Structure 1
Amino acid sequence: MGRGLNRLSAVAVKTAKVGKHADGGGLWLHKREDGGGQWVLRYTIHGRRREMGLGSSTDVSLKEAREGAERWRGVLRTGADPIKERERLKREAARNLHLLKDIAEDAFEARKAELKGDGKAGRWFTPLEQHILPKLGKVPVSDLNQQDIRDVLSPIWHKKAETARKAINRLAICLKHAAALGLEVDLQATEKARALLGKQRHKPQNIPALPWQEVPAFYASIDDGSVTHLALRLLILTGVRSAPVRFIHESQIHGDIWTIPAEAMKGRLDKTAAFRVPLSKEAHQVVAAAQRHARGGYLFPSVRKGVISDMTMSRLMERAQMTARPHGFRSSLRDWLAEATDTPHEIAETMLGHVVGGAVERAYRRTDFLEQRRVLMEKWANHVLGRETDDL
């Protein structure tokens, strides 16, 4: 390296013939037959001769090549290998380039198969999208700490406790996903943030439900045969959540059995198991009436496109100045089963589509109590219609 520096000129770089041309200090220009060239830094470390590429002569000017060479010669003077040091810096830079928003999106994609409808509704991602990513999305995940998380969640920690809880849980999943990708993250950051935020004051409230004794009067009031009234009637009669009711399709009805696809059932452990709902005579009549409104096979279409929204039925009850909400009819049915019948616990829970018992117990219990539920559904329908429950 002691033979002099800066031997080449900008013109010489452009006009150089095929071969290797020294600029001094270990910097060489390797000119190719196609007219292109490559800057190379030659050096020796630990008795080993090495060549380090500094870029194309088309993209890297002579001045830039000299500056780069001097930078790496400085590294060499510290006793470090420039090639290994550059690789280390690249790895470090790659870690810093993984922004939280990118990790969150990748984590969401990886978990879509576990989510209802492959996560198309976006509910898993929404808490992150609305409350975390606007302020922290561009932060490298390796830099994220508990103070960052505390600052972004403190405004909603007590006011919107459930939303904040979901947001911090989703963020913890994102950090685990980043760690699985080999990134350096603080997996305890979310737990530390919880400690900083303190215990939430808000207590989640159950969705208001209509007492089962008052269900017949309400059922009788929704009798105009509209899509909304019919959807509410089917929801009350079956005890099914609103989403499967809203998306019920003609192809799911076979005789007096409504088969709900597994992916449409919230909280099902067995993602391949559909849920059969026995339809009472009254429920079957509601389905028949709804078929007059069907569009594209869906029994409860909206005015414009798709199916009715989750709020359509709720607003009807709001306008009636009721505190109860559609989802609460599941509680009405469950209370009726407990207070007005002697239904065994496992059958009562199955009526609502709940998973009952541990994994071993479920493995040995193959029944879904369809016939027992058929009888109970008919009794429930009779109660809803204001008839004696024993008159089947």
Structure 2
Amino acid sequence: MRATNRLSAKGIASAVAGKHPDGAGLWFHKRNDGGAQWFLRFTINGKRREMGLGAYPAVSLAEARRRAEDARSKVRDNIDPIREREKQRRQNARNLHLFEDIAKDAFEARKKSLKGNGVAGRWFSPLELHVLPKLGKLPIIEIDQVDLRNTLQAIWHEKPETARKALGRTSICMEHAAALGLDVDVQACAKARALLGKQSDKATHIAAMPWQDVPAFYASLQDPTITHLALRFLILTGMRSGAIRFLHENQLSDDIWTIPSEYMKGTIAQAESFRVPLSPEALRVIDAARPLARDGYLFPSVRKGVISDATMSRFMERRKMEARPHGFRTSLRVWVAETTDAPHEVAESLLAHNSASKVVRAYRRTDYLDQRRALLNKWADYISTSNGSVRKRRLKQHRKPRNPSSSL
């Protein structure tokens, strides 16, 4: 039997350059540059192999011998210790995948199937806002139904639709991780839903301002600021805030605003884009916004990009108002219903709603542009020429009561 434990701690500290055997296949290699490392020679399945055991002095003589014996025991069981170590490294790497990394990878894999390649961010935002802040830095294999319950219970009943989307996106991420070979619980989201309980079936609608009070609010938006101008344009056109925020010069042609499909939600007849006729008042807002434009975007943010999705809402919150920007679509729709005789199809198309079946839309080859132009012109005349001062009393009724103890 070959001699073992030939080396000593004192001897290797002063060893010259070269390879020094400790016995039973363990070697100490001192390099010419002064560095040193341990390696083990062994034979398995008729092949001679060398396995690195670490650098000296980080790995001491005693530790090198222990590692060598662990490897020899695997060889005796006909297990290649090098392959076993690589397998363990891959497993450890999989175990360290953070949830935020998997979420981003899942999003990238689905971008091509999302409207506008997910530019608007609606697919990822429920995760980004409500899940990743709490669970993003955890390895995804460690996340269970209790973690998800604790993360979403604050909004499960307060913001049911948002919470459902966040849980649904999380489920997709879990399935994505499982497809990558990670040992995740793909049933965690279903279990979390059971823990969170049934949501109320009562629909919650975004607060809207009565159409009778819109002129007073519109009259109060007199400052030549991005926020005031964006709100005025939103009220005049009845479009969603996402399309307003990303309004670009190349979307404008005379008095027509063509909204790209990625900024629409269910456009009429599933068209590639949606045309919005612009009233003279809307064109005046555009002219006022152009000096403030950046990179062609008429409503830029202070630093970069466009104004955020919350900018206009925060403005109305600061005014202590219950109504929100999206609610002006309701204001416009109710005004049409109560003050005009516009057909239902035209009224719905004003808001880019798909109110007909696929068969009907296939045969209906119009977007009612002229009819919508007449309605939006009339709406613009109403809100911009009505006596706002007469309606200020109404506007105050929609403001939240001010806390007497708060500073002015």
Tell me the TM-score normalized by structure 2: 0.73
Matched, 1:152 2:154: no
User: Which residues in structure 2 correspond to 1:160-179 (within 5 Å)?
Assistant: 160-179=159-178
Secondary structure of the corresponding residue to residue 239 of structure 2? coil
Residue 168 of structure 1 and its aligned partner are, at CA, apart by 1.9
User: Which shows bigger deviation, 360-369 or 227-236?
Assistant: 360-369
Secondary structure of the corresponding residue to residue 275 of structure 2? strand
Per the alignment, residue 46 of structure 2 pairs with: 48
Question: 2: CA distance between counterparts of 1:51 and 1:102?
Answer: 37
Per the alignment, residue 241 of structure 1 pairs with: 240
Q: Is the 8 A contact 1:142 1:185 kept in 2?
A: yes
User: Which shows bigger deviation, 5-14 or 269-278?
Assistant: 269-278
Q: Is the 8 A contact 2:97 2:139 kept in 1?
A: yes
Q: State the identity as a percent.
A: 56
Secondary structure of the corresponding residue to residue 324 of structure 2? coil
Per the alignment, residue 294 of structure 1 pairs with: 292
Per the alignment, residue 132 of structure 1 pairs with: 131
Residue 69 of structure 1 and its aligned partner are, at CA, apart by 0.6
Secondary structure of the corresponding residue to residue 152 of structure 1? helix
Per the alignment, residue 343 of structure 2 pairs with: 343
Question: 2: CA distance between counterparts of 1:191 and 1:215?
Answer: 45
Structure 1 residues 5 and 267 mapped into 2: Cα distance closer, same or farther (>3 Å)?
Answer: farther
Per the alignment, residue 199 of structure 1 pairs with: 198
Structure 1 residues 270 and 303 mapped into 2: Cα distance closer, same or farther (>3 Å)?
Answer: same
Q: Is the 8 A contact 1:219 1:233 kept in 2?
A: no
Deviation sequence 1:225-279 (CA, Å, 0-9, x none): 6445544332222111234334534443321112334444456699993432111
Secondary structure of the corresponding residue to residue 258 of structure 2? strand
Q: Is the 8 A contact 2:267 2:273 kept in 1?
A: no
Amino acid at match of 1:65: A
Deviation sequence 1:142-187 (CA, Å, 0-9, x none): 2322222223333443344444334323322321232232322222
Amino acid at match of 2:91: E
Secondary structure of the corresponding residue to residue 154 of structure 1? helix
Secondary structure of the corresponding residue to residue 324 of structure 1? coil
Question: 1: CA distance between counterparts of 2:151 and 2:275?
Answer: 44
Amino acid at match of 1:73: R
Per the alignment, residue 254 of structure 1 pairs with: 253
Structure 1 residues 38 and 375 mapped into 2: Cα distance closer, same or farther (>3 Å)?
Answer: same
Amino acid at match of 2:75: L
> Cα RMSD between the aligned structures?
4.3
Amino acid at match of 1:48: G
Question: 2: CA distance between counterparts of 1:272 and 1:7?
Answer: 81
Secondary structure of the corresponding residue to residue 191 of structure 2? helix
Amino acid at match of 1:333: L
Secondary structure of the corresponding residue to residue 178 of structure 2? helix
Amino acid at match of 2:181: G
Structure 1 residues 303 and 105 mapped into 2: Cα distance closer, same or farther (>3 Å)?
Answer: closer
Per the alignment, residue 97 of structure 2 pairs with: 98
Deviation sequence 1:185-222 (CA, Å, 0-9, x none): 2222111110122112484511122344x266446744
Query: Larger RCO: Structure 1 or Structure 2 (Cα < 8 Å, ≥ 6 residues apart)?
Result: 2
Q: Is the 8 A contact 2:111 2:117 kept in 1?
A: yes
Amino acid at match of 1:287: I
Residue 357 of structure 1 and its aligned partner are, at CA, apart by 6.3
Residue 355 of structure 1 and its aligned partner are, at CA, apart by 5.3
Q: Is the 8 A contact 2:39 2:54 kept in 1?
A: no
Residue 70 of structure 1 and its aligned partner are, at CA, apart by 0.9
User: Which shows bigger deviation, 153-162 or 378-387?
Assistant: 378-387
Amino acid at match of 2:206: I
Q: Is the 8 A contact 2:215 2:382 kept in 1?
A: no
Question: 2: CA distance between counterparts of 1:40 and 1:308?
Answer: 60
Per the alignment, residue 377 of structure 1 pairs with: 376
Q: Is the 8 A contact 2:53 2:67 kept in 1?
A: no
Amino acid at match of 2:175: K
User: Which shows bigger deviation, 241-250 or 112-121?
Assistant: 112-121
User: Which residues in structure 2 correspond to 1:258-269 (within 5 Å)?
Assistant: 258-266=257-265
Structure 1 residues 37 and 375 mapped into 2: Cα distance closer, same or farther (>3 Å)?
Answer: same
User: Which shows bigger deviation, 164-173 or 373-382?
Assistant: 373-382
Per the alignment, residue 63 of structure 1 pairs with: 62
Matched, 1:334 2:348: no
User: Which shows bigger deviation, 101-110 or 302-311?
Assistant: 302-311
Q: Is the 8 A contact 2:269 2:362 kept in 1?
A: no
Per the alignment, residue 390 of structure 1 pairs with: none
Question: 1: CA distance between counterparts of 2:357 and 2:86?
Answer: 51
Structure 1 residues 344 and 30 mapped into 2: Cα distance closer, same or farther (>3 Å)?
Answer: same
Residue 9 of structure 1 and its aligned partner are, at CA, apart by 3.9
Secondary structure of the corresponding residue to residue 207 of structure 2? coil
User: Which residues in structure 2 correspond to 1:68-87 (within 5 Å)?
Assistant: 68-87=67-86
Structure 1 residues 270 and 96 mapped into 2: Cα distance closer, same or farther (>3 Å)?
Answer: farther
Question: 2: CA distance between counterparts of 1:282 and 1:144?
Answer: 53
User: Which shows bigger deviation, 66-75 or 7-16?
Assistant: 7-16
Q: Is the 8 A contact 1:216 1:385 kept in 2?
A: no
